[in-house]
Amino acid sequence: MPVVTVVPRQGYSQSVMTLSESPRQPRAGVPPEERESFFEREVMQHLDALYRTALRMTRNPQDAEDLVQETMLRAFRFLDRFEPGTNLRAWLFKILTNTYINRYRKASSEPRVDSLDDSDGETSLYRYLDNEAASRGGSVEAQVLDRFAEQDIKTAIEALPPQYRITVLLADVEGFSYNDIAEITNVKKGTVMSRLFRGRRLLQKALVDQARSAGFAGGKQ
Amino acid sequence: MDDEAKTRCAQTVKLLGEFLDRELTTCEIETVQGHLDRCPPCLKVYRFEERVRRLVRVHCASDCAPSDLREQILARLKRPSLS
């Protein structure tokens, strides 16, 4: 039995917005007469997940509520285009992401992240932190990870550039596959992977900077 | 540590993201698991990455939608103008 156990995802998830080719379902979409009950029964289950993602996207409870309301109303209007049996959750997150981009990102330009140097090929800050922690006679866990409160994590996430933030949230909080995230955010799978890689590194960097300014490593205590 | 071992460690650490995301094939998973079983330094990196990810998941998943949001949405979509 290995020390660490990970199982592959089961098969490949269905494409989010393309129609099923199953001959048993010739008609696409939720029929009009079932729209309200389907919405209340199926769509509303995802309200909390959509809201918490909207909250990290907008960084503001009132904007998050507005964004979720608009997302849900659009989902309701577009239900005739949703094929029952396909991935409803991914479909809703795609609407959320599109709505967010249309609504909030038109005016603001995305911050550049060229300053991040990943040319060293190291994908984790652990070794670096481990050296620093060891020189102070402790562990990374005790000196860095254990001191993060909920607000520190949220602040670090919210400081990420939007495209990185959304990609990291979809993967780490919502557990979507790379294929689903590619579909939700309208990019290629390779772009999802590089955004995750850089986004997670930026996040770790932000957390380390927070820990450092709070007294860990380098600072005089 | 010889160069070959260093390369194996570097390759493993590079794959940890996809490993944790469950995006590797069964064969690749076995390779990473096999290495982690034998290499305590890489196992520590794995534990760190896993822990950071769990912190993000736990803290960011704790927000619930306000209780009146559900009612507001249902009320809005029942307005005749939307049907």
**pLDDT tens digits for range B27-64:** 999 999 999 999 999 999 999 899 889 999 999 998 99
Q: Which of B57, B72, B73 sits opposite A172 (nearest CB)?
A: B57
- Please identify which residue in the block is written with the tokens 């994590």: A153
Nearest chain B Cα distance for residue A161, angstroms: 16
Whether the pLDDT of residue A107 is over 70: the answer is no
Q: What is the pLDDT of residues A180-219, one digit of tens each?
A: 999 999 999 999 999 999 999 899 888 888 877 776 644 4
Please tell me the predicted confidence (pLDDT) of residue A18. Answer: 45
Across the interface, which of A65, A124, A171 has its CB nearest the CB of B21?
A171
Chain A residues close to B10, C-beta within 8 Å = 121
Write down the pLDDT at residue A68. Answer: 97
Residue B64 burial (CB count, 10 A): 12
Output the pLDDT for position A108.
Answer: 54
**A82 Cα to chain B: minimum distance (Å):** 16
- pLDDT (0 to 100) of residue A181: 97
Chain B residues whose CB is inside 8 A of the A4 CB are: 33, 36-37, 43, 46
Average pLDDT over residues A2-28: 57
Does the beta carbon of A37 lie under 8 angstroms from any beta carbon of chain B?
no
Which DSSP state fits A171? I
Comparison of pLDDT for A124 and B58, the residue scoring more: B58
A218 CB-near residues (< 8 Å, 6+ apart)? A132, A212
Note the pTM of the prediction, 2 decimals: 0.83
Give the type of residue at A116: L
The distance in angstroms from the start CA to the end CA of chain B is 69
Alpha-carbon distance of B52 to A125, in angstroms, equals 11
Any idea what the Cα angle at residue A60 is, between residues A54 and A63, rounded to 5°? 65
- What DSSP letter does each residue of A120-152 carry, written as one string? T----SHHHHHHHHHHTTS-HHHHTGGG--HHH
What pLDDT, in 10s, does the model give residues A41-99?
999 999 999 999 999 999 999 999 999 999 999 999 999 899 888 899 999 999 999 99
Residue of B nearest to A121 (CA): B14
Picking from A54, A71, A53, A63, the residue whose alpha carbon sits closest to that of residue A169 is A53
